Structure 1
Amino acid sequence: MNPEDLERLVTLRMPFGKYEGTLIADLPGPYLNWFAREGFPGGEIGRLLHLMHEIDHNGLGGLLAPLRRTSQA
């Protein structure tokens, strides 16, 4: 993981599926858990979904708050 990955979580939108258009950082935990069970897609989106799952699962969503403020400014 690198700082750029965390920034991507608050700027990149889900490109497909039930939550298409939702920021990766805003995806609900059960949806991320589904990917963890069924398998994450390949490429950057899969890597970021996996990272967001780890953040959500470990209750670390607060780490993204400063980045959200920065990306909205």
Structure 2
Amino acid sequence: MEMRPDTEQLLEMAHYKMPFGKYKGRYLVDLPLAYLVWFRQKGFPKGKLGDYLNTMLTIKDNNLEPIIRKLQKDFPKEST
């Protein structure tokens, strides 16, 4: 069985910013690893943000941040 990432969701996550707290306004990829680990220990928020934080922790744990940064560069978020 071949696994394929959801391209739209990956692009959305690449441009998703932290909506609250100390790191409000930062891209999720720019959050410190320790902050993501803290969320894992305390419990990720419900919904999309929690899913994205959990996924970003996996991405950072596997040193895959360059993929997210390339997506940000190659597919800039359009201003609305």
- Relative to the length of structure 1, the TM-score reads 0.86
- Out of 23, 28, 32, the residue aligned to residue 32 of structure 2 is 28
Unmatched runs of 5 consecutive residues or more in structure 2: none
Question: 1: CA distance between counterparts of 2:29 and 2:55?
Answer: 10
**Between Structure 1 and Structure 2, which shows a larger proportion of helix residues?**
1
Quote the residue 1:62 is aligned against.
66
- Relative to the length of structure 2, the TM-score reads 0.80
- Out of 35, 44, 50, the residue aligned to residue 46 of structure 1 is 50
**What is the identity percentage for the equivalent residue pairs of Structure 1 and Structure 2?**
37
Query: Any idea what SS the aligned residue of 1:71 has?
Result: coil
Question: 2: CA distance between counterparts of 1:65 and 1:22?
Answer: 13
Higher alpha-carbon Rg? 2
